[in-house]
Amino acid sequence: YQEEIQELNEVARHRPRSTLVMGIQQENRQIRELQQENKELRTSLEEHQSALELIMSKYREQMFRLLMASKKDDPSIIMKLKEQHSKV
């Protein structure tokens, strides 16, 4: 028990309890701020991912239509494109 108390005192550098409590409160505030920032960043990332997915979906659809229009003569290519489009 005494050894543990000595270790804790060394870690605390023999600072008064009030100083330690103030330090812990400051750390708690910083942690809450970081958690809030993390939440905002996560939300922003999800919004960007959704936008990118929508953009890519529209791009794939346009490319599919373009290829369909340019390859009307070859039905095997059209079938392959339809299969790829349905998988995506």
For 62-88, the pLDDT digits (tens) are: 888 888 777 666 666 666 767 777 766
Q: What's this model's pTM, rounded to 2 decimal places?
A: 0.55
Number of structural domains (the chain) is 1
User: How far apart, in whole angstroms, are the C-alpha atoms of residue 24 and residue 11?
Assistant: 14
Structural domain that includes position 70: 1-86
- Which among 77, 81, 49 has a CA at the least distance from the CA of 63? 81
The structure tokens listed for 41 are 């960043």
For 8-57, the pLDDT digits (tens) are: 777 777 667 777 788 889 999 999 999 999 999 999 999 999 999 999 99
